[in-house]
Structure 1
């Protein structure tokens, strides 16, 4: 940040604390940060954690935030702030977006939930501030990277269409044991949701929908074999933006071998269940542990024929491990999710646009080489 701002972070989980610490450590001019959560104790704990973990003087102020019953203290904070980073569960995203709309605050969120995203799009069409949606890791960074690769491939090969645009992310443990070959590094309900809900793709140049976990395949990345499969939400708005321009487009989640077969067995046991997401979440949490030591595997590729009818393919892979930010070591899932979120809010605060900005509408090269993104992901040329 090149100017002082007051920034509200809604939520007090792992991504909220990472976003706060990154804002303090990596901003040229440190913002004042308000940590709002329904559980005031958690908000205070995050604020204290950030203050103790930074090398810079800062103001990190906790407050009670009940999205359905806004207190006078919260009202005063919103009236005197510039932006909200929404780090609460995706089901609450429209509620927090309404607060941003009401108090004329710039807004950025993380959720992959499609219905909630569509609600915010409808709300923010007449907003006096900017709204960047789905701007974490996946959806988020991976979509902007894929769009960048599409644009650069078309430009360098003098074409306007491609055959394949595929992008994949795995939030994985370093080790995986039977029978599930997995460890939770982020929200269990988020994992269950993406395994259940349908996926938006492009097939034969047309936007389409496919069931989650319906296209499992092996893939070798940097010499290591993983499994990939369709999961919901990660494609963001690229199927709309690139409809008619790409023959096959999809987002897939990477997993260690054996995991998807285990999930398939759990889903078979849940047939005819009224709430399969809740059922799968419960089944997973019974057997799968939460793991702190994590890694992010990221893969994106574009393929098509150039102007001379030669088939070409461009690939980008990234392997991101936990990293030191200030005095704290943040997990890979924290930095890779929080950094794009913070980059999005910087974009809004410094350019002051109005209305909704989806992943396909962002300036890809500027975003990918932004001051908050590059320490985590590196530069893209």
Structure 2
């Protein structure tokens, strides 16, 4: 399958390596940075320096490919999807941005190609898990989805290191969040809904952030009594982010906040991804709760280390593309994450990264 990958950052590099290494994909990687593309030397992929923020050059780079995999910053998702439709390519991305997803949904109407955004960890895998368990209930009550990409060794007051895009991080902290209450879709505020829990003997907090639900609100509206998504952090992070975003009003100057974080919060490859889903309801007349809890750790292999967020995000989108190529997903129109069957995802050669993770045995 001939694919063009947009973006040669940490996630893009991992996607390129996985797809090219499988032998079933002919990968061309496009980025505006020649330095970023140079890091792909030795993978056997083709590379092109293209201004990915300009419609004309981007369209020219997409023509002649079967599929587009977009690993660019979230604010370029609509542009990339629009050019993919113009070029007649199937489209996959990692966006957590709600507005971009709605725009892509509109682009997919009447299209002869497929559009599948939100193919990462959250949104992405977390929605596949939640929907899988939700289908097993006669009457669905509560669906709680919790995900965290955390430093394995937190050392600062935020108890946080940069493990992925600063743009995406601040975006999900600043926008309204979708949820379901009493069967109805509502919006809740980011950083609110603070809760605490322990998992594997470690204390965590979780709070509302935007985008992690994907399209599950629409899918489960009228079926679930309650549905929400919260980001997991170490205790104390939420309070400090509220100081920065609300008391210091940096939510109104997000570029300044992003620059501060890039300069002051170190990046780490030594991270852990936490996936925690609980679903409750009635089965055979009994009130039952099902729990899915996993920890995915970084790969510390010397010479080629991979962070946990690289592993999980790249696995998500590569599995989606692979299942599509195998004909296990619709071949045109808008594809929701919850249309992916969890057993098929975990059995996939890329999705198996989640299967090889450590299942958490006890939750307090």
Q: Secondary structure at the match of 1:214?
A: coil
> Partners in 2 of 1:46 and 1:178 — Cα distance?
30
Superposed CA deviations along residues 132-157 of structure 1, whole A, max 9, x for unmatched, are 110100100111111111113x1xxx
Backbone CA RMSD of aligned residues: 2.3
Partner of 1:38: 32
Q: Secondary structure at the match of 2:288?
A: strand
Structure 2 counterpart of 1:63, from 44, 48, 68: 48
Whether 1:293 aligns to 2:273 is no
How many residues matched? Answer: 355
The Cα shift of 1:118 comes to: 1.0
Q: Work out whether residues 22 and 325 of structure 1, in 8 Å CA contact, stay in contact via their aligned partners in 2.
A: no
Q: Work out whether residues 69 and 93 of structure 2, in 8 Å CA contact, stay in contact via their aligned partners in 1.
A: yes
Whether 1:209 aligns to 2:177 is no
Label 1:179 to 1:247 Cα distance change in 2 as closer, same or farther (>3 A). same
Q: Work out whether residues 182 and 225 of structure 2, in 8 Å CA contact, stay in contact via their aligned partners in 1.
A: yes
> Partners in 1 of 2:299 and 2:266 — Cα distance?
22
The Cα shift of 1:169 comes to: 0.8
Label 1:245 to 1:95 Cα distance change in 2 as closer, same or farther (>3 A). same
The Cα shift of 1:324 comes to: 6.8
Q: Secondary structure at the match of 1:189?
A: helix
Partner of 1:338: 314
Superposed CA deviations along residues 315-366 of structure 1, whole A, max 9, x for unmatched, are 1111111227897221110010011111111223332701110123333432
Q: Work out whether residues 82 and 349 of structure 1, in 8 Å CA contact, stay in contact via their aligned partners in 2.
A: no
Label 1:274 to 1:315 Cα distance change in 2 as closer, same or farther (>3 A). closer
Partner of 2:291: 315
- Higher mean displacement: 142-151 or 30-39: 30-39
The Cα shift of 1:225 comes to: 1.1
Structure 2 counterpart of 1:7, from 3, 6, 11: 3
Superposed CA deviations along residues 148-173 of structure 1, whole A, max 9, x for unmatched, are 11113x1xxxx1x2221111111000
Q: Work out whether residues 311 and 353 of structure 2, in 8 Å CA contact, stay in contact via their aligned partners in 1.
A: no
The equivalences for 1:151-166 within 5 A come to 151-152=135-136, 154=137, 159=138, 161-166=139-144
Gaps of 5+ in 2: 358-364
The Cα shift of 1:71 comes to: 4.3
Partner of 2:122: 138
Q: Work out whether residues 86 and 110 of structure 1, in 8 Å CA contact, stay in contact via their aligned partners in 2.
A: yes
The Cα shift of 1:290 comes to: 1.5
Q: Work out whether residues 2 and 66 of structure 2, in 8 Å CA contact, stay in contact via their aligned partners in 1.
A: yes
Partner of 1:47: 40
The equivalences for 1:237-316 within 5 A come to 237-271=215-249, 275-308=252-285, 310-316=286-292
Partner of 1:147: 131
The equivalences for 1:106-185 within 5 A come to 106-152=90-136, 154=137, 159=138, 161-185=139-163
Superposed CA deviations along residues 175-218 of structure 1, whole A, max 9, x for unmatched, are 22342111111111211111111100011111110001110010
Label 1:231 to 1:215 Cα distance change in 2 as closer, same or farther (>3 A). same
> Partners in 2 of 1:69 and 1:295 — Cα distance?
37
Q: Work out whether residues 320 and 377 of structure 1, in 8 Å CA contact, stay in contact via their aligned partners in 2.
A: no
> Partners in 2 of 1:282 and 1:32 — Cα distance?
36
> Partners in 1 of 2:240 and 2:90 — Cα distance?
42
Q: Secondary structure at the match of 1:347?
A: helix
**TM-score, normalising length from structure 1?**
0.87
Label 1:165 to 1:60 Cα distance change in 2 as closer, same or farther (>3 A). same
Structure 1 counterpart of 2:178, from 191, 200, 217: 200
Q: Work out whether residues 83 and 107 of structure 1, in 8 Å CA contact, stay in contact via their aligned partners in 2.
A: yes
Q: Work out whether residues 201 and 248 of structure 1, in 8 Å CA contact, stay in contact via their aligned partners in 2.
A: yes
**TM-score, normalising length from structure 2?**
0.91
Q: Work out whether residues 127 and 354 of structure 1, in 8 Å CA contact, stay in contact via their aligned partners in 2.
A: yes
Q: Secondary structure at the match of 2:39?
A: helix
